[in-house]
Amino acid sequence: MKTTLNGKNIVIGVCGGIAAYKSVTLLRLLKKQDAHVRVIMTLNAGAFVGPLTFEALSGMKVCTSLFAENGEDASIKHIEWAQSADAVIIAPTTANMIAKLAAGIADDALSTFLLAVTAPVMLCPSMNTHMFEHQTVKRNLKTLKQDGYHILAPDAGELACGVTGPGRLPEPEIILDRFLACLTPKDLSGRKILVTSGPTQEAIDPVRFISNPSSGKMGQAIARAAEMRGADVTLISGPTSLTEPLNIKMIKVNTALEMHQAVWHHFEHTDIIIKAAAVSDYRPVNPKHRKIKKVQDETVLELQKNPDILKELGKNKGGRILVGFAAETEDLQKNAAMKLAQKNLDLIVGNLIGPDDSGFNADTNRVQFLYKDGTIETLHKMSKDAVAHLLLDRILQLTISS
Ligand code: PMT
């Protein structure tokens, strides 16, 4: 099921590091997810970003001290925050805060809050490479991991201090993605899922090809949702401009033949296959090695059929769950039902093509789920992320009942 932050109480803890400015964007991203966000800062964090910035964006008073502010009892306030928190992100987490947490030291507002909180906590270590690689920091992080904290590994690269190596705070979008991942129940743990996504490109000559407008958004939404839910995911993708999803084995292909080969290479080691790719049915017979010159007024392009990858999988699927997509401009249900039977699928997603809010390149989708027992589920318009999670819910039910 899709994890939502809507209405959840999220606390961001900010420690004193050069990357503290990234927490401002993180706060905005969390607010966009309709979370209630509160911020607790260490004294040193205030030297990098002022509490007013966080206050203006969160609409909430920022907690910076254990002591009374404006007559309020701050020590009670952050215990209340700890009790009401649904989840916590500490970004950046300094070596000092890591050491305090590992030792159980509570000597300021943030470290005291952290000892009182029982909700999941994600730590985002960020510091100089030599500090990050220091045996004490390593030992403390190991302890915290054993204690159940989620630790987001820092990025490697050139750091503000001039040193190159691990220690950089990942971008806020990545922090949010991994935060959602650590809050998502792992109901697909142990499942090996293969997803195909995006278009294929069939060369006519070195500068032209036959393709379609698939962006890869639907397939990647499925791959990301499955990864967040604990599956071991392989994504075979045609060309796309999307950023590569995290923690997923991604195999890039161009042509239908390359996709065919990659799918069969991974077939043995999968138990669920979801084919969201828009594969070209035909390819030019003799792609030219040099650019075709514009000399004739008319020309004929000879095409030959590509292998129907899904149909071949259907003949050999054994105990695997096999899911296809059917992109249709008309007679969605009839055409999808035909493909479900012809390709020996367990489920097919009929995908309406035509409206701007559905199908190719849209962020939302209008789909129907058709099952091999004849059941049909017609869904209202929803985000591709929501379609992905619902599809995985249904696949999970199929694996339980089969
Ligand atoms: O990538 P987006 O921009 O997000 O768009 C998503 C999408 C519209 C591409 C996707 O939701 C979708 O509908 N994908 C299937 C598109 C398609 O090619 O449908 P089809 O009816 O032509 O093919 C039926 C099924 O057979 C598909 O699962 C397809 O992957 C598979 N197939 C088709 C031809 C072929 N040679 N080999 C195949 O495996």
pTM of the model: 0.92
Equal CATH topology for 9-183 and 192-401:
yes
Any residues with Cβ below 6 Å from ligand 1, and which?
198, 214-219, 256, 275-279, 281, 306, 308-310, 324-327, 339, 351, 359-361
- What distance in Å separates the CA atoms of residue 196 and residue 201, rounded to the nearest whole number? 14
Instruction: Convert the pLDDT of each residue in 330-349 to its tens digit.
Output: 999 999 999 999 999 999 99
Burial class of residue 194, CB neighbours in 10 A (0-12, 13-18, 19+): buried
Q: What is the pLDDT of residue 74?
A: 61
- Quick one: which atom of ligand 1 is closest to the CA of 361? 3
Ligand 1 center–CA 325 separation, angstroms: 5
3-state SS, residue 274:
strand
Report the pLDDT averaged over residues 198-211.
97
What distance in angstroms lies between residue 360's CA and the mean position of ligand 1's atoms? 10
Annotated catalytic residue within 63, 124, 161, 182: 161
CA 217 to ligand 1: nearest atom: 4
Does residue 235 surpass a pLDDT of 80?
yes
DSSP 8-state symbol, 45: G
198 CA distance to ligand 1 middle (Å): 8
Confidence of residue 46 (pLDDT cuts 50, 70, 90): very high
Mutate to test the pocket of ligand 1, among 261, 310, 348, 390 (most ligand atoms within 8 A of CB): 310
| Residue spans per domain, the chain | 9-183, 192-401
CATH of domain 192-401: 3.40.50.10300
* Centre of ligand 1 from the C-alpha of residue 165, in Å: 42
Q: What is the distance in angstroms between the CA of the first residue and the CA of the last residue of the chain?
A: 20
Mutate to test the pocket of ligand 1, among 237, 241, 257, 275 (most ligand atoms within 8 A of CB): 275
* 182 catalytic residue (yes or no): no
* Lowest mean pLDDT, pick from 74-83, 271-280, 365-374: 74-83
User: Could you name the CATH architecture of 9-183?
Assistant: 3-Layer(aba) Sandwich (3.40)
Going from the Cα of 280 to the center of ligand 1, the distance in angstroms, rounded, reads 9
Contact 377, 336 (CB under 8 A): no
Per 3-state DSSP, what percentage of the chain is helix, strand, and coil (rounded to 5)?
35, 25, 40
Q: What is the rounded average pLDDT of the residues 10-29? A: 97
Tell me the per-residue pLDDT of 283-310, one tens digit each, with 9 for 90 and over.
999 999 999 998 889 999 999 999 999 9
Q: State mean pLDDT over 347-374.
A: 97
Nearest CA to 353 among 335, 371, 332? Answer: 332
Confidence bin at 236 (pLDDT 50/70/90)? very high
221 Cβ contact list (under 8 Å, min separation 6): 384, 385, 387, 388
Report the interhelical angle of 51-58 vs 22-32 (nearest 10°). Answer: 10
pLDDT class of 157 with cuts at 50, 70, 90: confident
What pLDDT, on the 0 to 100 scale, is given for residue 357? 97
Nearest CA to ligand 1 atom 5: 360
